[in-house]
Structures are given as structure tokens and as C-alpha cells.
Amino acid sequence: MRWLVDAQLPPALARWLSSQGQAAEHVADVGFLQASDERIWTYAGHNHVTLITKDEDFPTLLRLRPNGAAVVWVRLGNTTRAQLLGAFERALPEILRALEQGERLIELV
């Protein structure tokens, strides 16, 4: 599974995913820290990555213009980095299962 972590989330999430055997990058790693949502969406589709975001625009783009990318929409309120990583640690098996079954939008609440 390949992941791209959006700018509202910490690079530590991409690092944690990598430590779990996942191929993960933060938008800063690919030079997209200041990129538009459109540019990130195009990149995600061309590279068949799952985008992890807090930005509601990406679920909307998925609905209006599916491009092969999947979206994990983080709907947690303000959390510490440790709380965020803990939520992903608990949810990752279910997220992976949903993606393997063809789900394109997974909400982490």
C-alpha cells in the first residue's frame, strides 16, 4: 500500500506508516507542501496512492472526479501527535482491509 499524508497532518504519521512496512510520504517529501488540492489530487491518482487528509475537499474531489486514488479522511478533532498515531495504530488493520475490499473513502473518527 502506498500513502501520501496531506499537509494538515504531521510528517510523523508518514514515518510511522513506514515503520509499519507501508510505503508512505508526506506532501513535504514530494515538494507539495504548498501545492494546491488539485495538484495533490492529480499526483495521488497518477501514482495510485491513498491520500490521508483532514481536508474535506478531497472526499468531495473523490466523489466528483474519481481518479484511482483512495482517501482516508481524518475526522478527529484537535489531537496530539501521540493521540493521532495511536488512533492510526488501532485503525490501520481495518483501514487496510477496507482498501483491499475496494473502499475508496474511509473515515477515521
Cell of 75: 475526522
**According to the model, what pLDDT value does residue 101 have?**
98
**According to the model, what pLDDT value does residue 3 have?**
98
Phi-psi region of 88 (alpha: psi -120 to 50; beta: other; left: phi over 0): alpha
Beta-carbon contacts of 77 under 8 Å, excluding residues fewer than 6 positions away, are none
51 forms bridges with which residues in the sheet?
4, 71
73 forms bridges with which residues in the sheet?
53, 107
Cβ(5)–Cβ(41) below 8 Å:
no
What is the secondary structure of 42-97 as a DSSP string? HHHHHHT-EEEES-THHHHHHHHS--S-EEEEE---S--HHHHHHHHHHHHHHHHH
The domain limits of the chain are 2-108
What confidence category does residue 103 fall into, taking pLDDT thresholds of 50, 70 and 90?
very high
User: What is the architecture, at CATH level 2, of domain 2-108?
Assistant: 3-Layer(aba) Sandwich (3.40)
Q: Give pLDDT tens digits for 15-50.
A: 999 999 999 999 999 999 999 999 999 999 999 999
Q: Give pLDDT tens digits for 49-80.
A: 999 999 999 999 999 999 999 999 999 999 99
DSSP 26: E
